[in-house]
Amino acid sequence: MKDMERLRFELTIPCQPELLKVVRQALAAFATELNMTISMIEDIKRAVTEACTNVIQHAYKEMGCVGTVHITCWVNGNDFIVEVSDKGIGMRSPEGLGIMLMRVLMDEVEIKVGRRGGTKVRMVKRMGVIEG
């Protein structure tokens, strides 16, 4: 498991819906390296897509610009951790339908809104014992 804990994946994309496919493909490839089940990978892809969609639709709208969304994934013990962050206006309502879906799909969801804007959604999927 020690080798797995050194794996880290980061991706920054412009807030363009057509790039969500790239995010999902990259996540699937990364999670596959960890021998995760297809079901777990699908849950992660759906949850991250929801988080990224929230950024694309809301984070920069009032700022009048197209910003970026940053996705970071890593392993800590048996936890697969994903953070989706932006530097937009900050989330105002942390309990919409997308957030509820993330909570159903992942084992933990934590949302932090910066004092000067920006939002970070941290999600955890427990992998169980991984053979490696």
- Between the two ends of the chain, the Cα-to-Cα distance in Å is 6
pLDDT, one tens digit per residue, over 42-62 is 999 999 999 999 998 888 887
DSSP 42: H
Query: In terms of pLDDT, which residue wins out, 45 or 130?
Result: 45
Asked if pLDDT for residue 2 goes beyond 90, the answer is: no
Going from N- to C-terminal start, the domains of the chain cover 2-126
Under a CB-based contact definition with an 8 Å cutoff, are residues 76 and 124 in contact? Answer: no
> Please, which residues bridge with residue 108 across strands?
124
C-alpha 71/C-alpha 51 separation (Å) is 10
Task: Give the percent of the chain with pLDDT over 70.
Answer: 92
Whether the CB-CB separation of 90 and 117 falls below 8 Å is answered with yes
Alpha-carbon span 15 to 88, nearest angstrom: 11
When pLDDT is cut at 50, 70 and 90, the band that residue 5 belongs to is: low
**pLDDT tens for each residue of 72-99:** 999 998 999 999 999 988 777 667 788 8
- Locate tokens 């493909």: which residue? 25
Token pair recorded at residue 38: 């297809």
The pLDDT of residue 132 is 45
pTM of the model: 0.88
Mean pLDDT of all residues belonging to the chain: 88
Domain range 2-126, CATH class: alpha beta
